[in-house]
Structure 1
């Protein structure tokens, strides 16, 4: 767990301190310095437009982690609200919300994300929305199950007897009780979301040039794979390390919480 936590902490520090880590502007074009080899001035060399590769990787950390953090927050928020309402209200409300979840869950997440981007248009904002909409239903299902279990406990029954409204009980008692489990289990999907962000940007559906982002950096470097392989290897390694860090953290957190709880959150995803 500590290895994963340390790597994630290091990546977060790089994202926050990017302007102080490198003196170069990641979007500054310098045709005279194109495709330079690594040197004391340009630690990872330059790309086909003369932009410093190290600066672009560092600032790309901010873009990629920022997108994943937003997806994380949105998925948990939507999933918690929908799942909590379905589990606590039951009846027709539960039926409608769960059938809606079923509709989203029948389509593989990447296929659904691509369809939504086709409807919404390209750009990182729409990528974040598309990935959120293709994943929230899994968490709504999980929250509903946990809510149904919590409803049977004594302190919830006591709150009902005391005259607490459904909304108040849901907000004050049920959602806080499952928040820790939900956050821990969602760390298992952080690497998956990172791959979605990078993959969609690689396809030209995410950030627009010249914004530094690892997926689009790999796409830009394809024509130079044999003459300047570092242009692909470095952002590819950044994606690999980040996904590995998220997976290490998620697996360790899940095992510490309860291995039997991981199934509903991640086992059904069609990646």
Structure 2
């Protein structure tokens, strides 16, 4: 759906005020693609420049959520853990995952490029300009305006273009442009409302692709909707629950809280803290 240049009152019965607008959808799609592609590209480039570093920073962060810095001991065990994290990041499985990310990311950038090309060729909404429609300058005199009107009306008259629906639309524009510059009432309406017919209803477009309205696609869209609702959403919740069920609200593992609650009592002393921390679930 593109913006129409025909300026007529929206008083037709049964005509919907809302419509699906492909152009608005592509603007929205390009915004989403940029939001996803830019940070993801930075992440992939960082992984390529510093392989294994992201995995190490994930397992051994340098700062807490509150901004406090972590200091790790340089014992042989800790060094082995860091080396193991780097080796995991450089494993063939992770390299294959990085390759898949790059392919998907390339597809996103290609889609974004195609979207920008489409938008660059899309027609934007035009303001009603009687001088532009009649192809005259704002300083033109009344005889010059009348001459331009007669010339264009002969070219685009519907009787001379019976098989061209755009000619009828163009003829209506020419007639209204001439009225806006010659008729006092139409001129007053144009100066007040920007249209020789006076105030008109505005059409609002929905930023969704037009194919959603096509009857042939209704079954597929419903199947996709139910698939997302019945499978994707529950699976996403299950995966999220599986990852967070072992942690309490404060970010500490539930096993550690249970361990500390069982062993810490009135007889616990400060000298026992290193042993308790070493025995916590996070340290294993």
| Alignment TM-score, normalising by the size of structure 2 | 0.27
Q: Which has the higher helix share?
A: 1
TM-score, normalised with respect to structure 1:
0.28
Higher-Rg structure is 2
